[in-house]
Amino acid sequence: MRDTISEALKTAMKAKDTRRVSTLRLVQAAIKERDIANRGIGKDAASDDDLLQILAKMVKQREESAKIYDDAGRPELAEHEREEIAIIADFQPEQFSDDKVRAVTAEVIAEVGAAGIRDMGKCMAILKERYAGQMDFAKASGILKELLSAL
């Protein structure tokens, strides 16, 4: 995944696509920051799963910023954030639809044998392990809570 991002950066630089170059540099800086943090605690460099989490976090930050800019009447800045989201999303796997998230969550509940809200942590841990970068875990958490409450 690192190689894919590096190649995309080189291509963007050759094409003189300044928005893409700046966004990909931000992605690489976030990856390097995670690697340095891991080195400090004796872990290896960030894995592809870690990279997916970094990308998901970056997208979420930009979505929040775009909303704030829209609310403040700054549509040009909100558009800038949305363009960055599109660039970062190119490196993420296909995101699950709400129906797919609900189905996967129900499968995990059945697999774990969850009996109520107290099993939410176990279920979320499995979802994060298996589906990193493929779903919005805030939405998944809400769906999981809803399904566990019904038990």
CATH number for the domain that contains residue 112 = 1.10.10.410
Question: Are residues 106 and 79 part of one domain?
Answer: no
Query: What's the pLDDT score for residue 136?
Result: 80
CA dihedral 69, 70, 72, 73 (to 10 degrees): 120
Read off the DSSP letter of residue 114: -
pLDDT tens digits along 116-131: 889 899 999 999 888 8
In this predicted structure, the answer to whether residue 91 has a pLDDT above a threshold of 80 is yes
Question: Are residues 115 and 65 part of one domain?
Answer: no
In contact, 135 and 143? CB cutoff 8 Å: no
Other Cβ atoms closer than 10 A to 64? 11
Question: Are residues 115 and 61 part of one domain?
Answer: no
Domain containing residue 121: 98-149
| Residue 47 host element (H or E) | none
Question: Are residues 42 and 72 part of one domain?
Answer: yes
Last residue within a domain, chosen from 47, 67, 89: 89
CA distance linking residue 125 with residue 147, whole number of Å = 16
CA dihedral 5, 28, 87, 6 (to 10 degrees): -20
Domain count for the chain, please give it.
Answer: 2
pLDDT band of 4, cuts 50, 70, 90: very high
Question: Are residues 103 and 84 part of one domain?
Answer: no
Question: Are residues 76 and 27 part of one domain?
Answer: yes
Question: Are residues 130 and 61 part of one domain?
Answer: no
Last residue within a domain, chosen from 65, 89, 113: 89
**Average pLDDT of every residue of the chain:** 90
In contact, 57 and 137? CB cutoff 8 Å: no
Query: What's the pLDDT score for residue 137?
Result: 83
pLDDT band of 16, cuts 50, 70, 90: very high
In contact, 33 and 26? CB cutoff 8 Å: no
Question: Are residues 105 and 41 part of one domain?
Answer: no
pTM over 0.75: no
